[in-house]
Amino acid sequence: MRKYFFIVLPAIFSLYSCWHRSTVPEPPLVKVWGFKPVYTLDSSVLEIKAGAARPIDIPGKIYAKGNLVFQNDVGRGIHVFDNINPSAMRAIGFINILGSSEISIRGNYLYTNSFTDLVVVDISDWQQVKEVSRVKQAFIQGQEVYRASYHEFLPPPEHGVWFECPNLFLSSAQILAGWVRDSIYNNNCFYQ
């Protein structure tokens, strides 16, 4: 029995060293100064309200109803245009809807998204809109609005820095509110 022991044990050790040798060592991660996202529990940034016309940042899909034309500002909300005289079309307002990228309207209700939530907005008076209901996580593709636009919303405070990539799945309990300088690993996101 003992002679088998002296064969088996070295065999196991040499096999182990084979496995060990076959792993390519990676360069060690380095800690650098960068930025970490700071989340807020404040869901007031999700409040849907209408305001004055403003320049469009990211033109998006359009929708026409009656004498009004609506255009998404991707991730920010919906611009309202007066179309009574099409040759003199002008912006007359903006409905703030964080994370919006879609529009459909029927009657007095606008159906849109706030990132991954389906949101219903009462637009019977488009200047005094209000959210009437929300179905959370109804539109998973809405997460791409965040991925596309968080740099514009709230980029890290400096260029040429590493930052911990913000969580892409927003909920009202996790809204990106700012950045804090911290020591992070250099395998995160990099802000050019």
Partner 1 sequence: MLSYKHFIAAGTLIVVAGLACTKESNDATQSDDMGTGGSLARFTIAHNHLYLADYNSLKVYDLTDPATPVQRNTINVGFGVETIYPYRDKLFIGSRDGMYIYSVTDPGKPVKLGEARHVRSCDPVVANDSVAYVTLRGNSACGPAQDGLYVYDIKNITNPIQKSLLPLSQAGGLGLRDSVVFISRGNAGLSVVNIKNPESPTLMYTVNDAEYMDVIPYNDVLLCYVSNGLLVYEITDLDHIKKIGGVEY
What is the per-residue binding string for partner 1 in 55-74, x denoting contact by CB under 8 A?
A: xx--xxxxxxxx--x-x---
Q: Are 129 and 108 in contact (CB under 8 A)?
A: no
DSSP string, 146-176: HHHHHHHHS--SSSSEEEPPPPSS--TT-EE
Pick the binder of partner 1 from 38, 39, 49, 105 (CB under 8 A): 105
CB of 158 to partner 1, least distance (A): 24
20/9 Cα distance (integer angstroms): 16
Q: Which stretch binds partner 1 (CB under 8 A): 16-24, 128-136, 161-169, 175-183?
A: 128-136
Which of 36, 38, 45, 144 is the binder for partner 1 (CB under 8 A)? 144
For 103-126, b/e burial (b = at least 16 CB within 10 A) is: bebeeeebebbbbbbbbebbbeeb
The interface region with partner 1, picked from 9-17, 25-33, 38-46, 85-93 by CB under 8 A, is 85-93
63: left (phi over 0), alpha (psi -120 to 50) or beta: beta
Contact window for partner 1 (CB under 8 A) among 8-16, 80-88, 151-159, 183-191: 80-88
Where in 13-168 does DSSP place strands (E)?
31-40, 49-51, 59-65, 68-73, 77-82, 90-96, 104-106, 109-114, 117-122, 130-135, 161-163
Q: Does 153 bind partner 1 (CB under 8 A)?
A: no
The residue range among 21-29, 137-145, 166-174, 179-187 that interacts with partner 1, by the rule CB under 8 A, is 137-145
Residues 129, 133, 138: CA angle, nearest 5 degrees? 120
Least distance from C-beta 52 to partner 1, angstroms?
15
Told to check if 11 binds partner 1 by CB under 8 A, we report no
Give the residues lining the site for partner 1 (CB under 8 A).
55-56, 59-66, 69, 71, 81, 86-91, 102-109, 111-113, 118, 120, 122, 132-133, 135, 138-141, 144, 147-148
